[in-house]
Structure formats: C-alpha cells, structure tokens
Amino acid sequence: MRPIPIPEKGVFNMPGVCWYWARGVTTTSGALSTATQPGLWAKQPAVISKVAATAGRYKVQLPSAHYVFLGALVTLFGPASAAYGANTTGFDWFLRAENVDAVNGTVVDGSFLLQFTQTSYADAEVPDGTSFTVCIGVADGT
C-alpha cells in the first residue's frame, strides 16, 4: 500500500482542494423557498438563486473566485409521493457559464449556472417540492 503523498495539502497533483455544498428547495414552478435552511445549511457560504424567466436555471454563487474550478455534482431529492411528469420535468443537469476559475488572472465573480433539462434536453423545471444539493470542488493551488 502506498501512502498519500501530501494528505494535509489536498488531492495529489491538485493542492489546496476545498469543497462547498449548497442546497436549494423548490416551491412551485422552479421558485426557491425563502425559508431559512435548517441546521448547517443556514451557514452555507455558497448561495443558489433562480435565474428569472429561464426554465430550470439557477445561479450558484461562491464567496469568491478560485484558482481552479474542479467541477460540481448535483443530487436531487424529490417529494415523497408527487407524480414527477417523467418526460417534461428536469431531472438531468449540466453546468453553464463557469465564472469561478481565475487561473489566468481573469476577473471572475465566483459563479456558475446550473441547468436542469428534461429527457429531450430542453430546459425544464424540477418537480415542485424538490430539493437539490450541489457539491462544488475548487483548488487554490497551495
């Protein structure tokens, strides 16, 4: 078994890795609940907001830009008994407009867009009452 080369400094070959988690809870038509998130979610430094007049699109804002944006993973939690509308609701997702990575000294604001799509890949809202978490990986290079 090989030891981890630099365990206290992050991931090998990508030093200074840190993670953010953010949570959004939908109400109707993709709107986000304004209720205070429970527990540690209330302290999350990453903020999710709905992009107006755009189906299934959310802006994820980190507190600052980072040297390297490693990516994000999304987990959806649907309501216990609602019909999801299978082909017309947003269960697939991808990222748009990455504005986190400041590797070349570019002025960035530390945000990216999260887009949900239906099975035809058209933009679509997630079912009402769905919550989702976003795990975001970044590195500062130290």
Over the stretch 21-74, which tens digit does the pLDDT of each residue have? 999 999 988 999 988 888 888 888 999 999 999 999 999 999 988 888 999 999
Of residues 137, 135, 113, 116, the one with CA closest to residue 26: 116
Domain membership flag for residue 12? yes
pLDDT value at 105 more than 80: no
Contacts of 58 (CB under 8 A, 6+ apart): 24, 32, 48, 49, 50, 51, 113, 114
pLDDT value at 78 more than 90: no
pLDDT at 117: 95
Residue bearing tokens 């991808």: 94
pLDDT at 15: 73
Domain membership flag for residue 2? no
Of residues 44, 2, 8, 4, the one with CA closest to residue 25: 44
* Full residue range of the structural domain in which residue 18 is found: 7-139
Domain membership flag for residue 65? yes
pTM of structure:
0.86
Domain membership flag for residue 1? no
d(CA 4, CA 8): 9
* The two structure tokens encoding residue 21: 């988690």
| Residue 83 vs residue 37, higher pLDDT | 37
Of residues 130, 99, 102, 106, the one with CA closest to residue 116: 130
The number of distinct structural domains making up the chain is 1
Average pLDDT over residues 79-99: 81
The pLDDT confidence band at residue 134, using thresholds 50, 70 and 90, is very high
Domain membership flag for residue 116? yes
Domain membership flag for residue 26? yes
Domain membership flag for residue 36? yes
